[in-house]
Amino acid sequence: MLRARLVMIFGGLMMVGMSSGTGNQASADPFVVYDGYDGPGKGKHIVFVVGDDEYRSEDLMPQLAKILAVHHGFKCTVLFATNKGTGQIDPSTQDNIPGLEVLESADMMAMFLRFRDLPDEQMKHIMDYTNSGRPIMGLRTSTHAFNFRKHGNGPYAKWSFRAKGETNGGYGRQVFGETWINHYGHHGGESTRGVIAKGMENHPIVRGCEDIWGPSDVYGITTLHGDCKPLIMGQVLVGMNPKDKPNTKKKPIPVAWTKTYTGTEGKAARVFTTTMGHGSDLKSKGFRRLLVNACYWGMGMEDKIPARSNVDYVGKYNPNPIGVGRFKRGLKPEDHKIK
């Protein structure tokens, strides 16, 4: 009897240790969790859905999740595109993001996807969430999140970025406000200075965002669809340095905006979209603050956004250079735990 009681106590201590706030979940899990920290976000759960093979979302999104967890108290779960055989993070695997069922418990979904071709059973979790009326944030290539070829005859093919008809422009245009158009700034040669849109200076999302700059080029847009309200205008600079002059031949166009999306449940979701998101854009405190504030706003917590949100790095942040195939090799989700 005494032995059984000791086993139960020891087992309980083991479970407490595994659920601590350092992302130390069981190594078999196909995601990393940051939980157990104090802050205004305590009790809220943000799920990050990551799968882009060029802009180092697999570096950017875990760091953003750590900032939101450690400094602001949100529980953050990060899901990655992973190789089915090895379980390693592999952005070039277009058809596998395991763990999407955790979206059922999410209070917000933060997406950084590009040209994913997910199977129906995974896509269902994303669309169930999208239709639920809960908030959504999309970064950079999420305007062209899906490109269904292998699953082109399935029920979700209509959300491909080049879709026509009822879902014209696919998930990007319908949910986020625009699909992939082109590079407005010269890719790799003209960087982006973010300027608060006229009349939006007092919006809670831009609070404390005095300096936004990144090496990403401004994405082209047609006309933003739905009820989009631009927050940040992207001024194209003539070079890749924050002190470079504006390209006066290219007028500023929106690089961040808010929107609502109403899906099949008939509930309007708050949506925040930014076409910035180069891995090194996150080195800008202003850009980090924009993303953190957007999460608060998305969940209706704008009254808790301080004058200057804490966006200090958690640990080191050294993203790999952008480019297809240039991601860090051999990593599993558990390697992103806070150490």
CATH code assigned at 152: 3.40.50
Q: Are 151 and 157 in contact (CB under 8 A)?
A: yes
Beta strands at 192-196 and 136-139: parallel, antiparallel or unpaired: unpaired
- Tell me the pLDDT tens digit for each residue of 288-319: 999 999 999 999 999 999 999 999 999 999 99
Whose structure tokens read 């080191």? 316
What total of structural domains would you count in the chain?
1
Residues paired with residue 87 on neighbouring β-strands, in sequence order: none
Confidence (pLDDT) at 27: 52
- Looking at the domain assignment, is residue 146 inside a domain? yes
**DSSP-assigned beta bridge partners for residue 235:** 193
Asked whether residue 15 is domain-assigned, the answer is no
Does residue 280 lie in a domain region? yes
Q: What is the pLDDT of residue 24?
A: 44
Q: What is the pLDDT of residue 10?
A: 36
User: 219 lies in a domain?
Assistant: no
**Domain containing 300: what range?**
28-183+256-336
- Which residues in the chain land under pLDDT 50? 1-26
Helix (H, G, I), strand (E, B) or coil at 167: helix
Give the bridge partners for 77, in sequence order: 33, 47
Question: What is the pLDDT, as a whole number, of residue 143?
Answer: 98
Write the single-letter amino acid at 121.
Answer: E
Q: Which helix (H) or strand (E) holds 46?
A: strand 45-51
Tokens of 147: 């490109």
Distance CA(269)–CA(222), nearest Å, equals 23
User: Is residue 199 in some structural domain?
Assistant: no
Phi, psi of 171 (to 5 degrees): -60, -40
- Tokens representing residue 64 in the block: 């953003």
Does some domain include residue 285? yes
pLDDT, tens digit, for every residue of 315-336?
Answer: 999 999 999 999 999 999 999 9
* Residue 242 falls inside a structural domain: no
pLDDT on residue 22: 46
Q: Is residue 114 part of a domain?
A: yes
